A and B are shown apart, each in its own frame.
Chain A
Amino acid sequence: MIKSYFDNMVDGIEKSLASGDASARKRYALSVARLGSRLYSGKDKVAWCGVTAPFDLLNSMGVTSCFVEFIGAMLAGMGAADPLLGKIEDAGYGPDTCAYHRAVIAAAKDGMMPVPDFLVATSAPCTGGLAVMETLAREFSRDLFVLHIPQTDDPDSVSYLADQLRELTDFVAFHTKVPFDMEKLRAASVLTNQARKLMVDAYRLAAAKPSPVAGKTLNNFGVVVALLLGTQEAVDVCRSFRDEFARKVERGEAGVPGEKLRLLWIQNRIQFKNDITDYLENEWGAVVVADELNAVTFGPIDPDDPFPGIARRSISIPLNGSVDRRLENLLSMCRDYSIDGAINPCHWGCRQGTGASAMIATGLKAAGVPVLNMDVDCIDRRNFAPGQIKTRLEAFIEMLSENKGV
């Protein structure tokens, strides 16, 4: 089912691009669909991974890899998560645990995920994800490599993780029977740096007033584009966004005409079909111009010594480390994007994310940025009450509009 979903998606988008729809979002969707298609092709070496795995390193070693939460999000987007969630609950997994992870385990048990050649877990951003990787390794009877991601960006931590990454190359080479090639990683690092620079430029342009983005333009972008790092595909996708935004900014063209309010979305988007961003834009001119996870928090990698730079990138992600560091990043985004208010969809079952919600709300409010904490489940739509959510969103937007005088 999933293989044909990706294959059909590739066909559909290629036709759409051929007929003249050359939007950056379309270009990006094609790359993601192609990645999905390769994962399920049965031809590629495949690794299921944790969110902060070094995808450029894996790409340089010829491994098609993906973090497992991607599958949970995709199933929700397809409207296929609900029966799987029900099944896995029947099997004894508590409904109060993360639905991304429940959906992934259910998909694996249902034969909806290809058996990988190996797995690479990461201890960040959450221990729940680590446990899922252990579960999957047993389910697939495949070897698991665990990357212990330190929580602080200091020389010892970077060195500790860089050493693990070097060990990972041996692990991968053992399983793929292809030796690690430093030249390939050097080339991948150059491409990662190019993509990174284009991302920085694209985000800077997205912060323009009015913003060239609509709420869906960069939906899930920062997390998913990481899967393409180290490839020309990532560079091309990032360049598409950068160029599209540059054209729009030059023409003064808004992603949403009549932009009145600029919103920051904290952590993950809601992955199943919902009309929240359309509703905000159409009814209120309120645009999600920034996502917490669409931020470049890492520096360029030294192609001649790439491991420390890759390590620093994994350590730097907003969901790793102290809440203070996360808050600092959010405050910086609020300033850069001239944010009027932030929406935090507190994902049911996410102890790691919701545990920080009160501190984040307090910190942002102290800086004059109102915050709406929404109790939702980003994957399990059975936990979604549209009427309740609409009232909270509407009241929040009324408050922002009234106080901004728009």
Chain B
Amino acid sequence: MSGYFLGIDIGSLSCDAVIIDKSGRILSASVVPTGARNREAIERATGEALRDAGLARDRLAAMISTGYGRDRVEDRTAAVTEITCHARGIFELLPDVRLLIDIGGQDSKAVALGPNGKVVDFAMNDKCAAGTGRFLEAMARALGVDITELAEMDHGATRELTLSSMCTVFAESEVVSLIAQGMPENEIVRGLNRSIASRTVSLAKRVCTDPTRSVVAMSGGVAHNKGVVRALSDFLTTPVNVPPMPDTVGAYGAALIARDRAV
């Protein structure tokens, strides 16, 4: 086996690419906005990853695509779902994890892993994208802040505020209304985080009845939001581990699968 392996995760919000060598070492990782044109995002993410790794495209031995746009990657070796890829990625990074929560742009997932890192069960959000990255994006807009600012905005908040609606449109109106009533922003953000967490925890409990007896981790772009991670940890009553660059766990898993299959 020679060459390098690319994993590319085309989500609704971001397109992530990771290149590894045959030992599984990450050479480069890139995250670009997906935007409206998937192919451009795929090209850009791949190009940046190759450039940062100092590699020409013909050095790639195999490429696995994942994410909702996985079938749009024309030169893929194979497409694999994000459930399998996130599981593979987290197993490499944190091998003791038995419950993985991944909140992406439009999907939330809870994945139960066996000791060998294989998926033993999973659950996903159903018809609604409430509590995902898109939801947070809309709430940041309602609060008039950048989405990255939400991560620490709940500091100092103590009230048990909860949003009565998880519908993104209604919740956005509710946030606007709370601001108008003079509710402090940190309390609103805490309420948002707790709303997301309570929804996600019910997914987690479908695949893992007692998360306190499992090592729990979180991947996906929303894992950058420490407030959400804290809220999840509170609801689960157990620590939630977040690996470095949680948004690239899926792409990393895809690269590992490309490597594994080439062996």
Interface residues of A (CB under 8 A from B): 365, 370, 375, 383, 385, 387-388, 391-392, 394-396, 398-399, 402-403
Contacts and interface: CB of A to CB of B under 8 A. Distances in A.
B68 interface: yes
A76 to B, nearest CB: 19
Interface of B: 68, 80-84, 107, 118-122, 124, 126-127
25 contacts: A370-B121, A375-B127, A385-B127, A388-B127, A391-B68, A391-B82, A391-B107, A391-B124, A392-B124, A394-B81, A395-B81, A395-B84, A395-B119, A395-B122, A396-B122, A398-B80, A398-B83, A398-B84, A398-B119, A399-B84, A399-B118, A399-B122, A402-B84, A402-B118, A403-B118
Nearest to B84: A398
The 4 closest A-B pairs by CB, nearest first: A395-B83, A395-B81, A375-B126, A399-B119
Contacts of B84: 395, 398-399, 402
Contacts of A402: 84, 118-119
A32 B107 CA distance: 42
Contacts of B127: 375, 383, 385, 388
Contacts of A403: 118-120
Nearest to A372: B122
A396 B81 CA distance: 9
Main secondary structure, interface of A, reads: helix
Contact of B81 (A365, A370, A385, A398): A398
A332 B84 CA distance: 30
Nearest to B68: A387
A402 B122 CA distance: 14
Nearest to A365: B121
A19 B81 CA distance: 44
Contacts of B121: 365, 370, 399
Contacts of B122: 395-396, 399
B83 to A, nearest CB: 4
A383 B126 CA distance: 11
Contacts of A387: 68
A395 B126 CA distance: 15
Contacts of A392: 124
Contacts of A398: 80-81, 83-84, 119
Contacts of A385: 127
A395 B124 CA distance: 11
Nearest to A361: B206
A396 B68 CA distance: 15
A387 B72 CA distance: 13
A375 B126 CA distance: 6
B120 A391 contact: no
Given A395-B124, A399-B121, A402-B119, 13 more contacts: A365-B121, A370-B120, A391-B68, A391-B82, A395-B81, A395-B119, A396-B122, A398-B84, A399-B84, A399-B118, A402-B84, A402-B118, A403-B118
Contacts of B120: 370, 399, 403
Nearest to A374: B126
A402 B83 CA distance: 13
A282 to B, nearest CB: 15
Contacts of B81: 391, 394-395, 398
A84 B82 CA distance: 37
A388 B119 CA distance: 19
A242 to B, nearest CB: 37
Nearest to A346: B126
Contacts of B107: 391
A88 B81 CA distance: 38
| Best-buried of B82, B119, B120 by chain A (most CB within 10 Å) | B119
Nearest to B123: A373
Contacts of A399: 83-84, 118-122
| Best-buried of B81, B118, B122 by chain A (most CB within 10 Å) | B81
Contacts of A375: 126-127
